[in-house]
Chains A and B, each alone.
Chain A
Amino acid sequence: MQKRYMSIWFSTLLTDWIRIKRPALKALPLVFSDKSGNRMVITATSKEAALLGIHLGMPLADARAIIPDLEVIENQGHRMEKLLCAIGEWCIRYTPLVAVEEDQGLILDISGCAHLWGGEREYLREIVNRLRGLGYQVRAAIADTMGTAWAVSRYGKISPIIKSGETLNALLQLPPMALRLSPVASQKLIKLGLKTVGSFINMPRSVLRRRIGEENMERIELVFGQKDELFSPIVIPELYSERLASMEPIRTRPGIEIAIEKLLTGLCKKLEKDGMGLRSALLQSYRIDGEVIKTEIGTNSATAHISHLMKLFSLKIDQIEPKMGIELFKMDAPKVEPVDPHQAALWKTEKGAADQKVTELLDRLAGKVGAQAIHRYLPQAHHWPERSIKKVDSLLETLSLPWRTDRLRPVQLLKVPEPVKVSAPIPDYPPMLFRYQGITHQVKKADGPERIEREWWLEEGEHRDYYQLEDAEGKRYWLFRSGHYSSEKTSGWFIHGFFA
């Protein structure tokens, strides 16, 4: 069967995209710029900017000189690729094979697909109209080879659809660039007066090869289908998904429970086979009245334990309101991770089983109050008290450095040190008394100062001189003076913690 390809060219993909996101930018000259070497270089321009003489590769400073109020979006390095991939995935509704093409385009292998839309013309119109409707400037073409489709979509002027076998005719009037020759080679051909493909394509191969080189000859062969071009389609990873349609609409809690259990069984079986576990699961309940209820759970570590997941869902079943009844359940696992086989083996030991129970408990807690409420701390190599610990997410992470025991730290630490009034006999002596929350404390014993310098590579500010103080009742405090003592200004004293 004759292969047919469709090429879609997004002439101003990035600027179209940003305008869809921020309609306020419409009709303004707009460019994207990225760092190249030591300067900012234009990587994409809108039509308006191009008309005013801004072209790709121009330094941003020059462009600003031409249009002072130029709208510039910076550092979107990989945005183009991401966008093309996303649109490519969207295009999979038209054909299973979609690939990203050089120079802002997509190539679709449409062999045997177009008749489903009633012919190539309707097929092309459908896709182009849909994309234009979204706000993208697109041109598309259908031809026998990828190269021809590419050429016609960029340079074609007559018809976007090149019938089978008419490749050569269609290309004759196009400029040499249309054959994807290197810029140097095409410039050379134009200089020689060979301004259309037709003017040189019938030259003997050896002559042409001498002019433009072997690499460009290959490209010409690809366009004319003398060689097959490599097609590397975008692959959408298969989602873990289960569906369960019910014969009768389900309206009761036990019914929903049974449905969830069935879905989980199927899903977990699949996951287990692939050695995966889910980190989040999404249950969609399709109600008779057209409403879709979404219920989501998350876990702290990848798991495929049905009973555990069931428990997590049972906390949320109350939120599913069946009303007239639910006719279809769908369970997806949007986030899966490989289950560490080593970890699974650990679980078999007694200690591992205990850890698993704790993880399951944490999952339950996270399901109700949110994962941001669960904290575990490890020491961090910073001496600034607030930064001496770091939050970790996993139970498995172990100490990378030991806890410091050489310095006494208060059991209760205020998040933000609070100012206190203090009277100290002489500079650099611990205070005699201090006033905190309206109560005056007579200091009986004191230790210090322990000077803690600001970590200057992270933030600026004064150092702190910490004192451990004990008042007449035996209550112990952690106070500090911010900065050096000076006679000109009164230095600030703060309370930061309470010792046991």
Chain B
Amino acid sequence: MAAINRDIIHKLQEQILSLQGFKPEMDGPALDFGIAEIATTFPSQVFPLAAIHEFISTSLENAAASGGFISALLATLMQKGGLCLWISAQRKIFPPSLVTFGLSPERIIFIDLSVEREVLWATEEALKCESLAAVVTELDEISFAQSRRLQLVIEKSRVTSFIIRKNEDKLSSTLAAARWKISALPSEPIDGMPGLGFPRWNVELLKVKNGLPGKWTIEYSAGTFKVLYDNLIETVEIRKAI
């Protein structure tokens, strides 16, 4: 009986998801971002593409960490080719550094706007273009209604949107599929050698639509993520019990 119930619930969940704009990718196998541990918290255990991902980054240090993490995700997203737009009003991203995360900086087109309010317009226009792999936007604030506009555009074009929110004070709820916060953690020396180790981050999923938030320690080395520690054991247990 319990098994049948679980089946029904599962089917209903999927129906609700598709009504909310979450559609699993039909063409080909899902992209492997190398973060299977994190992916389990998302609905149907897949990292949601064609959705909005929000990153909270208030300081330049956090922006660097988020930039690295997003670049690593973009590198996977852009495996099949395609271009990516990076829209911001005061950009500090240094393109050559993105090579470290497996990304080809020449395939990113930077839109550097002088006025903050043009950022959202440009983002919406960019998301309409289905031949882009992804659109990264740095902005101060976005309202719920504005995020819904973007979500509607995305549902048509199926482009993934990464939004970096630079102002924590103006944080409002949005239609984002996930809200991330990436912060730097002390690196471990490589083989006991002095100096800095590989970049290591504290990856926090603060909000996941239809999923469970969590917190991981991740190291990025040689083009792959390595989940070193997660505090998700309890939440996974809860999941299994359902």
Contact = CB atoms under 8 A, between A and B. Distances in A.
The answer on A and B forming one complex is yes
Contacts of A224: none
A52 B191 CA distance: 86
B106 A474 contact: no
Contact of A358 (B100, B111, B132): B132
A411 B68 contact: yes
Contact of A411 (B97, B109, B128): B97
A476 B94 contact: no
Interface string B202-242: 00000000000000000010000000000000000000000
A470 B64 contact: no
Contact of B95 (A389, A415, A468): A389
A473 interface: yes
A400 B112 CA distance: 24
B129 A474 contact: no
A410 interface: yes
Contact of B125 (A361, A375, A398, A468): A361
Contacts of B106: 376-378, 398-399, 403
Interface stretch (A81-89, A98-106, A365-373): A365-373
Interface stretch (B4-12, B27-35, B182-190): B182-190
Contacts of A368: 118, 121-122
Task: With a 10 A CB-CB cut-off, give which of B83, B121, B220 has the most chain A CB atoms.
Answer: B83
B96 interface: yes
Contacts of A351: 81
A159 B161 CA distance: 80
B186 A403 contact: no
Interface string B47-63: 00000000000001101
Contacts of A403: 96, 99, 104-106
Contacts of B116: none
Interface string B115-159: 000100110011011111000000000000000000000000000
Contact of A476 (B96, B122, B184): B184
Contact of B122 (A365, A375, A413): A365
A409 B96 contact: yes
A373 B129 contact: no
B109 A445 contact: no
A411 B64 CA distance: 5
B93 interface: yes
A271 B241 CA distance: 68
A447 interface: yes
Interface in A57-85: none
Give the interface size class of chain B: 35 or more
A482 to B, nearest CB: 19
A474 B105 contact: no
Give the interface size class of chain A: 35 or more
B196 A446 contact: yes
A362 interface: yes
Nearest to A315: B125
Contact of B96 (A373, A389, A445, A447): A389
B200 A373 contact: no
Contacts of B98: 411
Given A474-B184, A476-B184, A498 B64 contact: yes
B29 to A, nearest CB: 20
A26 B45 CA distance: 82
B112 A413 contact: no
Task: With a 10 A CB-CB cut-off, give which of B69, B96, B131, B200 has the most chain A CB atoms.
Answer: B96
A373 B113 contact: yes
Contacts of B101: 500
Contacts of B129: 357-358, 360-361
Task: With a 10 A CB-CB cut-off, give which of A376, A398, A446 has the most chain B CB atoms.
Answer: A376
A388 interface: yes
A371 to B, nearest CB: 11
A205 interface: no
A414 interface: yes
Given A404-B96, A468-B196, A375 B187 contact: no
A414 B68 CA distance: 16
B65 interface: yes
Nearest to B57: A412
Interface in A342-359: 351, 353-355, 357-358
Contacts of A360: 129
Contacts of B61: 475-477, 498
A4 interface: no
A374 interface: yes
Interface of A: 351, 353-355, 357-358, 360-362, 364-365, 368-369, 373-379, 385, 388-389, 395, 398-399, 403-405, 408-415, 444-447, 468, 470, 472-477, 497-500
